[in-house]
């Protein structure tokens, strides 16, 4: 059985593993962002027996990467100590917005845009 402290630490590890999965749209823009910093991880729950449920908020109802996200999330999270099972649930992709991106990631994106803009005017 997981203790509350263990659950909290495990939740942070899970989010870290999910953040190692880079969103392909962010890769295409030149600013690779992980699922958590993109604001795609809506919730992580862990029961007393190590069953993990990850809820994803997709950026679009037409996201073709859900299969990749599911496979990678299950592979990465299931390897963590204390995790007995992993399920991933994705929403319909209708309510994500860029405001869900973490402040640090927004700053990274802004710096990239500024650098691109600056190099375009030189």
Per-residue pLDDT, 74? 96
Please say whether the beta carbons of 90 and 66 come within 8 A.
Answer: yes
Q: Is the pLDDT reported for residue 25 higher than 90?
A: no
Band the pLDDT of 5: cuts 50, 70, 90.
low
Q: Where are the domains of the chain?
A: 4-121
Comparing 17 with 117, the larger pLDDT belongs to 17
* Structure-block tokens of residue 106: 């927004």
Band the pLDDT of 77: cuts 50, 70, 90.
very high
Output the pTM of the full model.
0.85
Per-residue pLDDT, 119? 60
Give 4-121's CATH code, choosing from 3.30.470.30, 3.30.230.10, 3.30.300.130, 3.40.640.10: 3.30.300.130
Q: State mean pLDDT over 27-49.
A: 93
What phi-psi label fits residue 115: left (phi over 0), alpha (psi between -120 and 50 degrees) or beta?
Answer: alpha
Band the pLDDT of 122: cuts 50, 70, 90.
very low
Using alpha carbons, list the distances in angstroms from residue 15 to 4, 10, 61, 68: 17, 9, 23, 17
């Amino acid at each position: 059985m997981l203790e509350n402290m263990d659950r909290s630490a495990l939740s942070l590890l899970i989010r870290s593993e999910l953040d190692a999965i880079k969103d392909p749209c962010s890769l295409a823009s030149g600013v690779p962002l992980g699922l958590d910093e993109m604001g795609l991880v809506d919730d992580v729950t862990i029961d007393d027996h190590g069953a993990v449920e990850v809820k994803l908020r997709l950026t679009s109802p037409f996201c073709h990467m859900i299969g990749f996200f599911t496979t990678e999330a299950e592979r990465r999270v299931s390897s963590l100590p204390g995790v007995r099972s992993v399920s991933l649930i994705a929403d319909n992709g209708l309510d994500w917005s860029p405001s869900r991106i973490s402040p640090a990631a927004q700053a990274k994106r802004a710096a990239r845009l500024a650098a691109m803009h600056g190099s375009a005017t030189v």
